[in-house]
Amino acid sequence: ASKESGRGRWTAYHPQMDEERETRNQMALDLRAAIDNEDIQVVYQPVVDSSTFELVSVEALARWNRPGHGPVSPDVFIPIAEASGLIDRLGLDVLRQSLMQLAEWPGLKLSVNVSPGQFRDPAFAGHVADLFYVTGIDPHRVVLEMTETYFIQNPERARTVLERLRKIGVQIALDDFGSGFSSVGYLRQFGFDRMKIDKSLVQSLGDGHRAVEMLQATVALARSLDVPVTAEGVETDQQAVNLRLAGCDQLQGYLFGRPCSPADIDALRLRPMDLRAKAAAIAFAHP
Ligand code: C2E
Ligand code: MG
Ligand code: MG
Ligand code: MG
C-alpha cells in the first residue's frame, strides 16, 4: 500500500517485516557458522530396484541442527543458503562428505542435489571435477539432481554447464518431475540421464483412477525419451506396485527407509534379506 501513497510510505511501517528479516539474517549468520565449523550433516536415503527391492543407490540429503533451535528443514535453510550466497560452499560440502562416504560403499550409486545458485558459479564444474579427483570416486557412480527452475530460466547457460559436467562423467537427473511445467521439447533438448517423479504425484495415487492415469502418462513420457525413472515418496505397497507397473525402475520412500545415518545404510547392506522379503511379500499380495 505504501508505493501509491507517496509521503505515506514512511508511515506504512510493519515491525513484523523487520522481525522476519532479522530472523532470516540471524539464520543466515548461524548457517554460515555451521558451514565454517563443518556442522552440516549428511543423511542417506535408500533407493531400491523396483522389482527386487535390492538397494542400488542412496540420495544424500543435508541436515542442520541449529544451536538453540533444533533441526531446521532443508526446505527452509536451502533457500536461505541460496539468498545469502552460502549455497556454493554448502553444496560442495555435501558433495565432498557424500563422495568420501561412497568410498565405503562399493557397488552403490549416489545422488546429490544441486541448487540453481551453484549452477550460476562459473567454477562449479571445476570444483566438482576436483572433488572426484581428490576422493578417487568414479564419476559414473554419481548422479546430480536438479529441478527444472534453472533450465527454464537459463537454457543456454544450463546447457553449457551440463556439457561440462557430462564430460566429467557424472549423470544428471531431473528432480521433482511432474510438479512443474516441463514440456516434451525441453525434456528432449537437455537429455537427462534420469527423471525423478515428484512425491506429490506419487502420493496422489489413491485419490481416484485419474491419478493413476496421470502418473502412467508422466512415466510413459520419460520412457518414450528412453530416460529411466525413479519414483520418490513411496510409502505404501500399493504405490510401489503401481509405480513398478507404470515403468519406474527405481523406487525411493519411507516404505524402504527414511533418510538415515551411514551406519544404518551399512546395516541395510549387511541384511539385504529384509528388503528382499518385503519385495516377496508384496509380489505375493499383489500378483
Ligand atoms: P528432494 O531432493 O526432492 O528430496 C526428497 C525429499 O523427500 C527429502 O526431504 C526426503 O526426506 C523426502 N522423502 C523421501 N521419501 C519420502 C516419503 O516416503 N514421504 C515423504 N513425505 N517424504 C519423503 P528433505 O530431506 O526434507 O529435503 C527436502 C528438499 O531439500 C530436497 O528435496 C532438496 O530439494 C532439498 N535438499 C536437501 N538436501 C539438499 C542439498 O544437500 N543440496 C540442495 N541443493 N538441496 C537439498
Ligand atoms: Mg533430490
Ligand atoms: Mg525430489
Ligand atoms: Mg524437492
Number of C-alpha atoms within 13 angstroms, CB side, residue 160?
10
What is the pLDDT, as a whole number, of residue 10? 55
- For the chain, give the mean pLDDT: 90
Q: Ligand 1, closest atom to CA 63?
A: 38
Q: What is the pLDDT of residue 17?
A: 73
Spatial distance between the Cα atoms of 273 and 279, rounded to a whole number of angstroms = 10
pLDDT > 70: percent of the chain: 95
Least confident of 24-28, 81-85, 283-287: 283-287
What three-state secondary structure class fits 143? Answer: strand
**pLDDT category, 13, cuts 50, 70, 90?**
low
Nearest to 235 by CA among 207, 211, 255: 255
> 113 C-alpha vs ligand 2 centroid, how far in Å?
5
- Pick the residue with more confidence: 129 or 210? 129
This prediction has a pTM of: 0.92
Cα–Cα distance, 106 to 182 (Å, whole number):
34
CA distance to 7, 72, 85, 160, 176, per residue, from 78 (Å) = 37, 10, 11, 24, 16
Check if the beta carbon of residue 222 is closer than 8 Å to that of residue 188.
no
Pocket of ligand 1 from Cβ distances under 6 Å: 45, 61-62, 73-75, 78, 91, 94, 113-115, 145, 175-176, 199, 232-235, 252-254, 259
CA distance 77 to 284: 43
* Statement: residue 4 has pLDDT above 50: no
C-alpha cell at 171: 549423470
Cα dihedral across residues 215, 179, 99, 164: positive or negative:
positive
Residues in the chain: 287
d(CA 198, ligand 3 centre) in Å = 5
pLDDT of residue 7: 52
pLDDT of residue 11: 57
| Atom 2 of ligand 1, nearest CA residue | 113
C-alpha of residue 192 to centroid of ligand 2, in Å: 14
- Return the percent helix, strand and coil in the chain, to nearest 5: 55, 20, 30
Complex ipTM: 0.98
What residues form DSSP beta bridges with 110?
58, 142
Mean pLDDT of 17-22: 78
Q: The cell 513398478 sits on which residue?
A: 244
